[in-house]
Amino acid sequence: MFNLKETKMPDFNEISSKMHEKAGYKDPLAFGIARVLKNMKGESIKVDFAVVNYKNSFASAAVILHALEKNGAKLDFNSPEAVYELHGGVLNDALEPFSSLFNELDKHANVKALKCAKNAAKVDYTLDYSHSFEAVFLYDDAKPASVESVYLKLYLLSKNFVKPREICLDGAFGILPNLAWDESGEPYELEWLREHEIELKMEGKYPNIAFIDKFPRMLSHIIPSDNATRVLDSAKVRLGAHLAPGTVVMPGASYINFNAGTLGSVMVEGRISSSVRVGAGSDVGGGASILGVLSGTNGNPISVGEKCLLGANSTTGVPLGDGCIVDAGLAILEGTKVFISADNRKKLAQINKDFSFDKEIYKARELSGLNGLHFRQDSRSGQITAALSTRAIKLNESLH
């Protein structure tokens, strides 16, 4: 009689250890598990990440990569990014080592996402659209080369793993397709809508298109991690915007672009353009505009410090330090000539000790990043002036 011993399957820690011993193996900078919408050509047009990981969950990454390799995928750790389809065989092999965790899935987001992907049927979206499940890995922060990697980086921003300007999105605009988005956040290719307009309308299935853009709205993908953040109009925040806890985005003239946003509780009633960072306790007044790298700053990204006030309908085209004020309706651009009196130069020098206030007239870009500046316009002469700000900027605590 043979003594048959039960074969013990390796658990996720064992598999992770073996993968890390492989020559050339590399932990990802970030990775995520996603459901991807494909067009009839098999091209990705929208990516919904169920889970995003940044500089962590390396064991889960190793198990997924092991399952991919077991099912014939050629792993590449030398490229900045890698995208793999999670078909049934891969999902089975990725889940098996985690079987001991199935009773506590809420504590293990990656395992839960894999299990949900396995349970979800791959169904057609419409006549020419389908979904697939994918694992997306970033190994280096290089220019994105795929729709999937662009979305992963946008998620990293909107989930507050990285701040604006901390991750490379060069070329992202050219990678994403321009799409029509309906009220529920689902995209349609423009040409597809044109081709199927007659049958869709005759069948009463023509979608209610809300906007046309390359970027979806943040709230269609991500809910802020805190209960203090408020966004009163989803159209005002693109995916890839960074909203620190306590940020309030009012309706009307407010707007936050991708790769831009707030670093603390901020009242936003104006426009925060791409690459702009706004510090905690600041107030971007109604209709105020902070110029982005593509809108008049000669490629120089702008930061607004903490406890600043940008008055209604003002324009800011230079970086501001902490405690600055730009009066309502005033435009402070790089070439704006600013007068500072001798008395105010002396006062400002006390809080900006590394700057030499040695003249009366400055171009605004020369004052970039200085603290405590209050920009005004003389109502009689029209001259733009800067003085030491004596006003304490305090947000309404009941609104944050």
Question: Six-digit token pair at 33?
Answer: 């598990």
β-bridge pairing 315-316 and 303-304: unpaired
Which helix or strand (DSSP H or E) is residue 21 part of? helix 12-21
* Strand pairing class (267-268; 248-249): parallel
What is the C-alpha to C-alpha distance for residues 358 and 362, in angstroms, rounded to an integer?
A: 10
Residue in 257, 271, 366 with CA at minimum distance from that of residue 316? 271
* Per-residue tokens: 97: 């080592």
Q: What is the spatial distance between Cα 306 and Cα 304, in angstroms, rounded to a whole number?
A: 7
Give per-residue burial for 258-268: e unless 16+ CB within 10 Å, then b. bbbbbbbbbbb
Q: Considering the candidates 148, 189, 269, 306, report the single residue annotated as catalytic.
A: 269
Reply yes or no on whether 269 is catalytic. yes
Task: Tell me the backbone φ, ψ of residue 100, rounded to 5 degrees.
Answer: -70, -10
> What CA dihedral angle connects 292, 296, 301 and 304, to 10 degrees?
-70
Residues with Cβ within 8 Å of 47's Cβ and at least 6 positions away in sequence, in order, are 34, 35, 36, 37, 134, 136, 147, 148, 151, 152
Among 362, 354, 157, 133, which residue's Cα sits nearest to residue 260?
A: 157
Give the whole-angstrom CA distance, residue 385 versus residue 375. Answer: 6
Active-site positions? 269
